A = this chain, B = another copy of it.
Amino acid sequence: MKSKRVNEILLKSIEGYEDRRPYVEPFTYHPEGTMGHSESENIKEKVKRDKLAESLKEAIENAGIKDGMTISFHHHFRAGDKLVMMVVEILAEMGVKDLRIAASSLTSAHEELVEYIKSGVVTRIETSGIRGRLASEISEGILGKHPAVIRSHGGRARAICEGEIKIDIAFIAAPSSDCMGNANGVKGKSICGSMGYAKVDAEYADKVIVVTDTLVDYPNFPQSIPQTLVDYVVVVDEIGDSKGIMSGATRLTSNPKELLMAKRVSDVMLATGLFVDGFSMQTGSGGAALAVTRFVKDEAKKRNIKLSYALGGITKPMVDLLEEGLVDTLFDVQCFDLSAAESIGKNEKHVEISADFYANPFNKSAAVNKLDFVILSALEIDVDFNVNVISGSDGVIRAASGGHSDTAAMAKVSIVVAPLTRGRISTVIDKVTTVVTPGSTVDILVTDYGVTVNPRRKDLIEKFTKAGLPLITMEELRKISTRLLGTPKEIEFSDEVVAVVEYRDGSIIDVIRKRKQ
């Protein structure tokens, strides 16, 4: 337009438009960073048509890194992740200090963070889990006045969506991406399958850097992370090792005790009356929990029924259910093995979901809200059914909160399966070292000694009695384990808090203290 149609005087004459801006030029008001620069008369040359950065360092600089910022990571590569250490090393070289790492979880791939905590590059850790040397150092108080924050997967999604975690820069390890940042986990040199946790980070972070080792033609498909959320795309040699996805916690069992317990879980499920056409389930990690899926398959076939959906970290037995037509949909926030990662790329009913869709307690309903059954593991469970999945009986952090408390709270029937004793340690104790999942949300404990029902669930006790299940009370279990193992010496803790355990709703359910020397 040679002469503009609208000016301030006109706008002032229209009610409600007094402070509005008249049009100037097509890109006058675009936010910084969304357009390129060009002096050409052809304004089309101002449009930024790729987001590739020369290097990870350049992308980090352009994203405006500052001391004290919060950077986020997702753990879909689990023990095979290479991105966290790659980024932290660059940040250390750049002299950045006082970072908060908000990771969906941390694994054995991240033990070297210890050095960066010692040097002050990283001063805060927020995560679902911590393992290995990093976990033991944190348990010893290496983080000083900023205790680690342990959140469930649903709780982390809630904290991000509600603004409690404000991510400055999200780093997305993407098995494939195009030049605009459309990324997924099903194509590329190293696939990880679902990118469910990263989806929430990308949506709420101020800046988003997609890091890939496989740059593909535009438009990449599917768009697990859409270009609308991505600031920079960086190509590196290797983002992770797919083999690391399948770590100890998700290996299938051939242990007879675990198989016995798994069979008992399926008997429990049958006796609830909820094992009917259209039921839903999640199994957590842990040998027995995973083995349950095999029994479920046999029973579903026998009864000629089909599950509506299976949820959670998805494993090969779940994929088998889908491929045999025994479940309608798999909702997958994270692939627990390569079979799952391959399946999600080719079966449309194997659906990638975000951590928000999975378990955020404050959205308008998450997938966990429709669960009939969840089968969970435990490091410790106490006589009030409180469960510890984060610390060992030695008081040292060693595992992850995961979706444990999210699914336990929402499933119609939550079942914890664990052996009564592991070596010289009793799983059932008077008071768990750390509470991750409150006992009021745990309905059933299945051990190698029988089925223990939470006294709140009189309905289940009645059903299980009728079905002739081998019921045993918590008190009886305690007696057996004491008889077998004696009474362990209580660990003494100092007052120093080394980690805070958030419940999914953001309240603080427990703290982890440093052990007395």
- List residues of chain A with CB under 8 Å of any chain B CB: 1-2, 5-6, 10-11, 13-17, 20-31, 33-34, 41-44, 47-49, 51, 145-147, 180-181, 208, 217-219, 221-223, 226-231, 278, 308-309, 328-329, 331, 348-349, 351, 356-357, 360-367, 369-370, 384, 386, 409-413, 435, 438-441, 443, 456-459, 495, 497, 500, 503, 505-511
Check B356–A41 contact: CB distance below 8 A.
no
Check B48–A365 contact: CB distance below 8 A.
yes
10 contacts between A and B (CB under 8 A): A5-B511, A6-B509, A13-B497, A26-B505, A27-B409, A41-B458, A48-B365, A228-B366, A229-B363, A230-B365
Evaluate whether A308 and B218 lie within 8 angstroms (CB atoms) in the complex, with A26-B441, A30-B505 already known: yes
Check B364–A11 contact: CB distance below 8 A.
no
Residue from A11, A26, A146, A360 whose CB has the most chain B CB atoms within 10 Å: A26
Residue from A47, A145, A443, A508 whose CB has the most chain B CB atoms within 10 Å: A508
Check B10–A511 contact: CB distance below 8 A.
yes
Shortest CB distance A414–B (Å):
8
* Chain B: CB-nearest residue to A207: B364
Query: Which residues from B are CB-within-8-Å of A363?
Result: 34, 228-229
Query: Which residues from B are CB-within-8-Å of A218?
Result: 278, 308-309, 370
Query: Which residues from B are CB-within-8-Å of A412?
Result: 44, 47
* Chain B: CB-nearest residue to A504: B26
Seed contacts A11-B508, A51-B364, A228-B360; 5 additional CB < 8 Å A-B pairs: A44-B443, A47-B412, A181-B364, A221-B328, A230-B364
Partner of A2, one of B51, B228, B278, B384: B384
Partner of A362, one of B34, B361, B411: B34
Query: Which residues from B are CB-within-8-Å of A331?
Result: 219
Total copies of this chain within the assembly? 2
Partner of A6, one of B43, B370, B440, B508: B508
Evaluate whether A328 and B219 lie within 8 angstroms (CB atoms) in the complex, with A26-B440, A511-B5 already known: yes
Query: Which residues from B are CB-within-8-Å of A435?
Result: 1, 5
Q: In whole angstroms, what is the CA distance A55 to B265 when docked? A: 41
Shortest CB distance A53–B (Å):
14
Evaluate whether A441 and B226 lie within 8 angstroms (CB atoms) in the complex, with A51-B365, A508-B6 already known: no
Q: In whole angstroms, what is the CA distance A14 to B145 when docked? A: 8
Residue from A48, A360, A364, A412 whose CB has the most chain B CB atoms within 10 Å: A364
Query: Which residues from B are CB-within-8-Å of A506?
Result: 20-21, 29
Query: Which residues from B are CB-within-8-Å of A348?
Result: 221-222, 348
* Chain B: CB-nearest residue to A457: B42
Q: In whole angstroms, what is the CA distance A41 to B459 when docked? A: 10
Evaluate whether A23 and B229 lie within 8 angstroms (CB atoms) in the complex, with A14-B500, A180-B365, A328-B219 already known: no
